[in-house]
Chain A
Amino acid sequence: MESKTKLRRPSQRQRPVSRRMSRVEIAGLIGAVIVSVGVGFAFLRHRSVTPSPAIGNFQRVADPAVTPGQPVPVFFLSALYCPFCGAERWALVDALGRFGTWSNLNPSQSTAGVDGIAAVPTYDFVHAHYTSHYVAFTPRDVADAQGNPLEPLQLGEQSLVNRFNPDGGIPFLLIDGAFAQLSSGYSPGLLAGKSFAQVQGEVTSHTADGQAIQHEADVITALICFADGRQPQNVCGTSTVQALVAGLH
């Protein structure tokens, strides 16, 4: 009788069956942890680096230093293989051309076929020179068409990347140390497969694809105008740029 009672004790009857986790469960758990941690950190970093939207795809990452008479620093981080970088260069050439003079600016293209990236016609910044009273432009192509190291970053540039582009993505455009854009302002698919002359023609004849480049150029122009106290007047005084600058206040 006593032994029967002992056998029926709830603690013994309800003891859970011990079970080892199967490999599927372990693999699933590891995958879930990696994805959760990645998404969580990506979200936190995104929030810490890009506090508020500015105009276009730009984010205001710090308080802009409006310094009339001083050249506005413009830092462009890219690689020759990257199609998004190739697309952004068109808008940069257009926008910076309004503030200064380009020389030795030659056609180039992002890598096609060899590394599996669609060819995007673009400009070569590695050999180009830019002079301006209003803009201090620093382009850095960190890798060539195959991904080999090309232009090393200076110490100050490294700290900019670590601070404002902690994921190391390209293209990365930073204007006045305050407005940052990661990736291109418009789709490189608009340019993929076209020739350099074709894209040039689209920009000058204001086709739909050309207008996308022009719009990005206007956004860059407006950010520079905002930072340098709207100089020069013939560039910053246009209605399009003024409207964009107004959106920054």
Chain B
Amino acid sequence: MIAVLSLALADRSVRLIGLSAAVVAFALFATAGQMVAWADGRLALLVTPDRLVVFVVLAALAGLNGTLQGYALRLRLGRGGQSAGVTGIILAFVGASCCTPLLWPAVLSLLGVSGVALLGINAALHRWFWIPVSLAGLALLVSTWRTARAIVTPCPLTVRAAAEAEQVAL
């Protein structure tokens, strides 16, 4: 994993992708969790150590994941990890949400969820905050691991490709 990461980080554009992913993810979580909010023309900063640590860890995982995904894209590898990464980000976003969630209530309304039901979900998510956040971390780790594996796994040689290569050699 470290070898793959150092290989990926050697590329400047991939480093930029990873850094951007981490910064954007942190901004997303901090806003969703209303750690940073805009009220009456003022910026509200409601920072507490535990929530800050959770957001930093998730953002770091998103950055690590983004770095490897970026490198895999550069190598034109489309195998494994992307869907787990997206799932992780969505779960983290949902788990981080606080009092007036931004996006997902509107998405849930597609399923016909009422305001009262969403209110209950908001409170329940606050109560079980650690479950979606832990699942998000797990999904991001799985995604990172699968992408790293995809990078180090040699390209499979298909029968057709082998035949073509043989023809060229002849």
A residues within 8 Å of B by Cβ? 22-24, 26-28, 30-31, 34-35, 37-42, 45, 56-57, 77, 79, 81-85, 112-113, 115-118, 142-143, 146-149, 153, 158, 161-163, 165-171, 182-190, 192, 212, 216
> For residue A171, which residues in chain B have a CB less than 8 angstroms away from its CB?
99
B residues within 8 Å of A by Cβ? 33-34, 37, 39-40, 42-51, 54, 69, 73, 78-83, 85-86, 89-90, 98-107, 109-110, 114-129
> For residue A23, which residues in chain B have a CB less than 8 angstroms away from its CB?
78-83
> For residue B106, which residues in chain A have a CB less than 8 angstroms away from its CB?
37-42, 45, 167
Give the contacting residue for A41; candidates B46, B80, B107, B116; CB below 8 A. Answer: B107
Given contacts A168-B122, A183-B99, A190-B44, 20 further A-B contacts (CB under 8 A): A23-B82, A24-B73, A24-B82, A83-B34, A84-B37, A85-B99, A118-B46, A146-B127, A147-B123, A147-B128, A148-B123, A158-B116, A162-B114, A166-B105, A169-B105, A169-B119, A171-B99, A187-B42, A192-B45, A212-B42
> For residue B104, which residues in chain A have a CB less than 8 angstroms away from its CB?
38
CB-based contact B46/A143 at 8 Å = no
Give the contacting residue for B42; candidates A26, A117, A190; CB below 8 A. Answer: A190
A-B CB contacts (within 8 Å), total count: 180
* CB proximity of B86 to chain A, nearest CB, Å: 4
* CB proximity of A222 to chain B, nearest CB, Å: 16
CB-based contact B69/A79 at 8 Å = no
A37 and chain B: residue at smallest CB distance: B107
> For residue A189, which residues in chain B have a CB less than 8 angstroms away from its CB?
37, 39, 42-46
